[in-house]
Amino acid sequence: MDELLEILNDIDDSIDYENEKALIDDHLLDSFGIITLVSEIEERFDVEIDAAEMTPENFNSVEALWAMIQRLREN
């Protein structure tokens, strides 16, 4: 989880990721932040994110992102 927070802070450190629940819905993470995020997550956690995972529900909060990473690791 700390590693994920590190990635997110690298993208934009002005966001309070631990309490934010609407990263996508409130446009806090823009499209380019998402491009970077996807590629960083794939690189560091050795998972494959495909188009089906690209939903706001998976990207709205750090917990949701973490849950998606865990799920993809198990597959």
Q: What angle is formed at CA 50 by the lines to CA 48 and CA 56, rounded to 5 degrees?
A: 115
Instruction: Single out the residue of 30, 44, 70, 71 in contact with other proteins (rule: CB under 8 A).
Output: 30
Query: Cβ 43 to other proteins, closest distance in Å?
Result: 8
Only one residue has tokens 């450190």, namely 13
Among 57, 44, 48, 54, which residue's Cα sits nearest to residue 6? 44
Closer residue to other proteins in complex, CB, 37/62: 37
DSSP 49: -
Among 2, 16, 19, 31, binds other proteins (CB under 8 A): 31
Residue numbers of the site for other proteins (CB under 8 A)?
27, 30-32, 34-36, 38-39, 42-43, 49-55
